[in-house]
Amino acid sequence: MFARMKLKGIDGRAPPGRTVEVDRFTECLHGNTLRYCCYSGKNSLKVRLHIGVYYCYLLDWHRNFGDNLLIVTLEEYSRDKLATLLAVFKFLDIEVDSDKLVEFFKRE
């Protein structure tokens, strides 16, 4: 499930604490579920590695909210901010003046 990563800085050495955190998280997975390792605050102190494993959080959100969940990626938002925000407003059932939103993005 997880690949072993070599994390190196500019000087070719691993940044302090990074490999320790990956090892700690990997070790946690040997005896526990992914969900436990993500939610347990004991497993990552400096790098907060568990935050990047958002899959386990999305599963929990989906279990609780079902299809009433909208996932927007940074790539979508970066590619077309206006369309993404309009989709978010529609999902939330918020009426918005799209002309004003277009004007806002023109000023940006």
Whole-number pLDDT of residue 107: 80
The pLDDT value given to residue 46: 58
| Predicted pLDDT at 4 | 42
Residue 7 confidence (pLDDT): 46
Is the Cα torsion angle 89, 94, 95, 97 positive or negative in sign?
negative
The helix/strand/coil state of 80 is coil
Q: For each of the chain's 108 residues, which pLDDT tens digit applies?
A: 344 444 445 555 555 555 677 777 788 889 998 888 888 766 555 566 656 777 888 888 899 998 899 989 899 999 999 999 999 999 999 999 988 888 888 886
pLDDT at 105: 81
What are the angstrom distances between the C-alpha of 98 and each of 41, 47, 85, 87? 42, 40, 10, 11
Q: Is 90 helix (H, G, I), strand (E, B) or coil?
A: helix
